[in-house]
């Protein structure tokens, strides 16, 4: 009941982070039917391209081996080992090709589904993998029963396909028995090819359906609840309260740094209470006046207080102050549209002989 309720609460699609973490752990969608299909195709390739020649060669060798049995010496252990090696070498030439094709098919089926990756966590020993309770649940749980039902269904369908393919094979087999062994081998090969083609077509449908279902169920298993999405967002971006605190600390530091630069200002432009912009202009250093501080309301009042403490001229220009406040930033040159107005104020400062006294601009 709890598991069903938990699944019902997972209404959100998996985030990119969760998908990335899952992939890094090696938990990828995988169709078990794709390697089975690849194995049938590998056997089909062997039967079509290699079986006839290899079967004829092996049959010829065994015929000679049996007909001339008295020609093989078995007096010593070395003789027996030599015969053993010869026989199994001939058999190995046939079996080896089949094994190579099966291995190549299985590896290819896995690679085509997912990019190979080394995941240490997947090969680490875990007690749950040898737990009888876990194993019992895997075998006889819902998923285990579904897999068992699928296997039984596939066996029944494959059996029906084999029976359908061989429905007229008895006549061919009986006629082939009285022909040359090589011709009878071709008859057997043709029947096997027909059976493998029928099974491969059926397994293709099963593999495609299972591949689609495995990826769909993988996505479904990764779905998240809204609370999980929120928790992940907190872990990624940090706690909102902490972020607000960090922003506040950063603003305080920037404000203190800005206030410490006011003593180097040449003049301050302000309206009576709301805005204040402190500018620095040194002919041999600055290409244009530089904004060393700006603020509004309480910060603007503090800028004016510091200006008075350091005998920095304060010009009350409400329109200019409002306009500049919106368009300038600290530690940058003023925009060209303010050059003329600010140049007049700088000129008045220098006309005063560089003495820093508070001045009020006329309207």
pTM of the model: 0.54
- pLDDT number for residue 38: 92
Half-sphere exposure of 40 (CA within 13 A, CB side): 20
pLDDT tens digits along 263-308: 888 899 888 778 898 998 888 888 888 888 888 888 888 888 888 8
* Beta sheet of 314-316, edge-to-edge order: 290-296, 275-280, 267-270, 314-316
Phi, psi of 242 (to 5 degrees): -65, -40
Distances (CA, A) of 263 to 96, 125, 271, 292, 315: 88, 68, 20, 10, 16
**Closest-CA residue to 79 (of 52, 87, 263, 211):** 87
Looking up tokens 């920095």 gives 312
How far apart, in whole angstroms, are the C-alpha atoms of residue 288 and residue 339? 8
What pLDDT is stored for residue 139 in this prediction? 65
> Distance from first CA to last CA of the chain, Å, rounded?
79
The reported pLDDT for the residue numbered 189 is 81
How many H-runs (helices) and E-runs (strands) does the chain carry? 15, 4
The pLDDT value recorded for residue 5 is: 47
Strands 267-270 and 275-280: antiparallel
Distance, in Å, from the CA atom of 294 to the CA atom of 289, rounded to the nearest integer, reads 14
Instruction: Give the pLDDT means over successive 10-residue stretches in the chain (363 positions).
Output: 56 81 81 89 88 75 72 76 81 85 89 75 62 66 76 88 82 69 74 89 91 88 83 68 74 81 87 85 84 86 87 87 86 87 87 50 33
Domains belonging to the chain, first-starting first, are 2-234 (no CATH), 261-351 (3.40.1690.10)
Report pLDDT for 204: 92
Closest CA to 293 of 332, 322, 320: 332
């Amino acid at each position: 009941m709890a598991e069903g309720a938990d699944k019902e609460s997972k209404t959100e699609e998996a985030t990119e982070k969760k998908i990335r973490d899952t992939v890094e752990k090696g938990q990828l969608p995988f169709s078990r039917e794709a390697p089975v299909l690849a194995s049938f195709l590998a056997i089909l390739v062997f039967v079509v391209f290699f079986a006839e020649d290899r079967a004829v060669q092996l049959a010829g060798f065994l015929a000679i081996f049996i007909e001339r049995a008295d020609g093989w010496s078995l007096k010593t252990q070395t003789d027996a080992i030599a015969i053993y090696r010869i026989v199994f070498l001939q058999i190995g030439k046939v079996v080896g090709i089949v094994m190579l094709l099966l291995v190549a098919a299985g590896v290819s089926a896995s690679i085509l589904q997912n990019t190979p990756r080394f995941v240490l966590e997947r090969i680490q020993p875990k007690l749950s993998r040898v737990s009888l309770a876990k194993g019992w649940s895997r075998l006889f749980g819902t998923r285990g029963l579904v897999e068992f039902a699928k296997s039984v269904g596939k066996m029944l369908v494959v059996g029906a396909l084999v029976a359908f393919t061989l429905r007229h094979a008895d006549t061919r087999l009986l006629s082939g028995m009285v022909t040359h062994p090589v011709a009878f081998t071709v008859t057997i090969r043709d029947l096997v090819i027909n059976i493998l083609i029928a099974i491969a077509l059926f397994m293709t449908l099963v593999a495609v359906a299972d591949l689609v279902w495995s990826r769909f169920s993988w996505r479904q298993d990764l779905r998240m609840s809204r609370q999980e999405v929120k928790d992940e967002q907190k872990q990624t971006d940090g706690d909102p309260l902490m972020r607000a605190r960090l922003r506040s600390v950063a603003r305080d530091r920037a404000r203190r740094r800005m206030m410490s630069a006011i003593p180097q200002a040449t003049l301050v432009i302000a309206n009576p209470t709301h805005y204040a912009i402190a500018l620095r202009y040194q002919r041999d250093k600055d290409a244009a006046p530089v904004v060393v501080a700006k603020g509004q309301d309480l910060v603007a009042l503090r800028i004016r207080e510091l200006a008075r403490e350091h005998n920095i001229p304060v010009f009350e220009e409400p329109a200019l102050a409002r306009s500049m406040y919106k368009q300038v930033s600290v530690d940058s040159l003023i925009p060209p549209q303010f050059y003329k107005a600010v140049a007049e104020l700088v000129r008045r400062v220098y006309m005063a002989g560089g003495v820093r006294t508070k001045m009020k601009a006329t309207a």
